[in-house]
Chain A
Amino acid sequence: MTWSELSDLLLVGLQETAWMVGVSTVLTAIGGLLLGVLLVLTAPGGLLAAPVVSSVLGFVVNVARSLPFIILLVAVIPFTRAVVGTTIGTDAAIVPLTIGAIPFFARIVEAALREVPPDVVAAATAMGATRTQIVGKVLLREARPGLVAGLTITVIALVGYSAMAGVVGGGGLGDLAIRYGYQRFETEVMVATVVVLVVFVQLIQMAGDVLVRRLSHK
């Protein structure tokens, strides 16, 4: 395999990975934030304390989190077909990736929001703030550094999972590594893929760190 063939393969793989990870990150961020906020609000002593809702949500999240990703990948195939119309390709991979990552990120969101001192929430309540103001202007805003750090962790986990999604025809760098590196014993493709993945993850982490530093004024 020539250099230009290899770099073409890598470029396509990287694009596919970036697409899968990018879209599922956006969906995960939205879904995970909503779910995480709900977990905090409905918890005992929360702003919208609802014990039943809270335990049901907690249970669902735990179940989703205990499924190995490879099982989830297969289990959601009917759902994927209904939503995307196909079960192979990068778009199809986005469905299990998002479903797998939302509960993961939701727990991170929950933990980050709990880090906001109760004192600060009490102060806002004492000022006469509404619940919406407390969630938006106090909890989410104060937790921003933690949320961004948590999202960085989630994105990197998604990069890993997206490689697994390659197994079921998802495409991307993981798919490339398996098809060429593993099945055809083309070691240089395997090594090159790994190098690209390492650099990709490294860049995501660095970007996350820079953002966290800019957001925290502690």
Chain B
Amino acid sequence: MIEIKGLRKTYGAKGRRDPQVVAVDGVDLSVGEGDVFGVLGRSGAGKSTLLRCVNMLERPDAGTVSVGGVELTTLNGRRLRAARHGIGMIHQHFALLSSRTVAGNVAFALEVTGVPRAERRTRVAELLDLVGLSERAGAYPGQLSGGQKQRVGIARALAARPKVLLSDEATSALDPETTDSILRLLLDLNRRLGLTILLITHEMTVVKRICRSAAVMRDGRFVESGAVTDLLHRPESELARDLFPLDPFAELPGQTVVDVSVSGEDADIPLLTEVARTLDVDVRVLSGSVETLAAGRAGRWRLAVPGDGAAVIHHLRSRGAVVAVAEASS
């Protein structure tokens, strides 16, 4: 649904003395139809720039961006505006019109897309119902809570019936419960409308709750990207480390420490008791957990096993787990 190849964007005007900033430095990204793709990264990594290049709010210096099969980098004027109707966007600070009511904000999106006046009223009602905000139709944004404002933002983004939704830190200004309700809404929209979502976040809960794919961005590049469950199985994955942090440990004489990751149905077989019983060894969990993610059941443990652990590792691998020997922190 979204195909990005070799995307590059630099800031710092030509001829000026301030150094050039390479905000996005050659990113390839492919988001499948109906996928929820999360981009993670520190502040300044280039996440917002990447997202703003998807609907040409920023013109990339190089690379191609196509959404729903339409190449956007070469579009201008009316054709670009038409393409933008198919791409909804929600913003961290909501970006609502303070001079219009909730209904007026949604109606604005319909005016922009050229929906005739007669149809607007029913569409506004539909959209407000979709985001659960019908009662507040006449309120001004200044009278709403953060969560309610973001619901307006979402209703507005969906006005033109887009296939794609872009979200730049849509929940970072909200408290955990409100974040939860907004995430539930997004997931619901993804399922009911088949909406493809590309989102930016720095919150692990967002990835856990709604992302099926993810990428970690640093200094304008993707350092890893793919299905969340695949990334979890890479021992060096930063995403795995952040989603399932494992505690550091000191050298254990006569024992080997291994990191084990499991996903899907494998996460729910009684793997540890099974290996202990079958091989008649003691397995100690140093840290780790199993959780239900949007991408499926998944878990990671750090285990201490006797000796070189070869038999245990072999057994765990035969049952679908990914196992790597861990290094003690000195």
**Chain A residue nearest to B141 in the complex (CB):** A217
Structural contact, A133 and B95, CB atoms closer than 8 A = no
CB proximity of A21 to chain B, nearest CB, Å: 28
- B98 engages A128 (CB within 8 Å): no
Nearest-neighbour CB distance to chain A for B208, whole angstroms, equals 27
Q: Which residues of B contact A142 (CB under 8 A)?
A: 97-99
State whether A122 touches B85 (Cβ < 8 A). no
Cβ-defined contact, A128 with B97, below 8 A: no
Tell which of B105-113, B268-276, B318-326 binds the partner.
B105-113
Beyond A126-B87, A142-B97, A217-B141, whether A133 also contacts B57 by CB under 8 A is no
Contact B99 A141, beta carbon cutoff 8 Å = yes
A215 to B99 Cα, complex, angstroms: 7
CB <8 Å contact, A128 and B99? no
* A135 interface residue (CB < 8 Å to B): no
The docked-state distance in angstroms from the alpha carbon of A41 to that of B95 is 20
> What A residues does B57 contact at CB under 8 A?
122, 125-126
A130 to B87, CA, bound (A): 16
Q: With the chains together, A215 CA to B113 CA distance in Å? A: 26
Task: Say yes or no: B87 contacts A218, CB within 8 Å.
Answer: no
Bound complex: CA A123 to CA B96 (Å): 8
The listed residue (A117, A119, A128, A215) touching B81 by CB distance below 8 A is: A128
A130 to B156, CA, bound (A): 17
Is the beta-carbon distance between B85 and A127 smaller than 8 angstroms? yes
**One of A126, A127, A129, A217 near B140 (C-beta < 8 A):** A217
A137 at interface (Cβ–Cβ under 8 A)?
yes
Contact present for A128 and B142 (CB under 8 Å): no
> In the complex, what residue of chain B is closest to A117 when comparing beta carbons?
B95
CB distance from B269 to the nearest CB of A (A): 46
A168 interfacial by beta-carbon distance below 8 Å? no
Collect the chain B residues with CB atoms within 8 Å of residue A144's CB. Answer: 99
Q: Give the size of the chain A interface in residues (CB under 8 angstroms).
A: 22
Contact status B89-A123, CB under 8 Å: yes
Shortest CB–CB separation between residue A17 and chain B, in angstroms?
33
Please report the C-alpha to C-alpha distance between residue A199 and residue B144 in the assembled complex, in whole angstroms: 39
Prevailing SS type, chain A contact patch: helix
How distant is B13 from chain A, measured CB to nearest CB, in Å?
Answer: 9
What chain A residues lie within 8 Å of B263 (beta carbons)?
A: none
Q: Which of B89, B96, B97, B100 contacts A126 (CB 8 A)?
A: B89
B82 at the interface (CB under 8 A from A): yes
Q: Bits for B90-130, please: 1 = Cβ < 8 Å to A, else 0.
A: 01010111111000000011011100000000000000000
Whether A133 pairs with B97 at a CB distance below 8 angstroms is no
Q: How far is the CA of A215 from the CA of B142 in the complex (A)?
A: 13
Of A119, A126, A133, A215, which is in contact with the most chain B CB atoms at under 10 Å from its CB?
A126
Bound CA–CA A142/B141 (angstroms): 12
The answer to whether A217 and B142 touch across the interface, beta carbons within 8 angstroms, is yes
Binary interface encoding of chain A residues 173-206 relative to chain B, with 1 for a CB under 8 A from any of its CBs, else 0: 0000000000000000000000000000000000
**A127 surroundings in chain B (CB, below 8 A):** 84-85, 89, 108-109, 112-113, 156, 159-160
- Contacting pair A124 B140 (CB below 8 A): no
Residues of B within 8 A of A84 (CB): none
Chain A, residues 32-75, CB within 8 Å of chain B (1/0): the string is 00000000000000000000000000000000000000000000
Contact between chains at A126 and B84 (CB < 8 Å) = yes
Cβ-defined contact, A122 with B95, below 8 A: yes
Q: Does B49 contact A (CB under 8 A)?
A: no
Could you say which residues of chain A place their CB within 8 Å of the CB of B82? 128
Q: Is the CB of B55 closer than 8 A to any CB of chain A?
A: yes
A138 is an interface residue with CB less than 8 A from chain B: yes
Known: A120-B96, A133-B112, A142-B97. A128 touches B89 (CB 8 A): no
Between B112, B140, B142, the greatest number of chain A beta carbons within 10 A of the residue's beta carbon is seen for B112
Q: How far is the CA of A122 from the CA of B168 in the complex (A)?
A: 12
Closest B residue to A129 by beta carbon equals: B112
- Distance of B139 from chain A, by nearest CB (Å): 9
Point out the residues of chain A lying under 8 angstroms from B95, CB to CB: 117, 119-120, 122-123
Closest Cβ–Cβ distance, residue A199 to chain B (whole Å): 32
Q: Which residue of chain B is the closest to A133 with respect to CB atoms?
A: B112
The 10 closest A-B pairs by CB, nearest first: A217-B140, A128-B84, A123-B95, A128-B81, A119-B95, A126-B89, A129-B112, A128-B85, A127-B112, A120-B95
User: Can you list 10 A-B contacts with CB-CB less than 8 angstroms, sorted by A residue number?
Assistant: A119-B91, A120-B96, A120-B97, A123-B95, A125-B57, A127-B112, A128-B80, A128-B81, A138-B97, A141-B97
Known contacts A120-B96, A125-B84, A217-B142; 14 further A-B pairs (Cβ under 8 A): A122-B95, A123-B89, A123-B91, A127-B108, A127-B112, A128-B82, A128-B84, A128-B160, A129-B112, A133-B112, A142-B97, A215-B99, A217-B141, A217-B143
Give chain A's interface residues, CB within 8 Å of chain B. 117, 119-120, 122-130, 133, 137-138, 141-142, 144, 215-218
Q: List residues of chain B with CB under 8 Å of any chain A CB.
A: 52, 55, 57, 80-85, 87, 89, 91, 93, 95-100, 108-109, 111-113, 140-143, 156, 159-160, 166
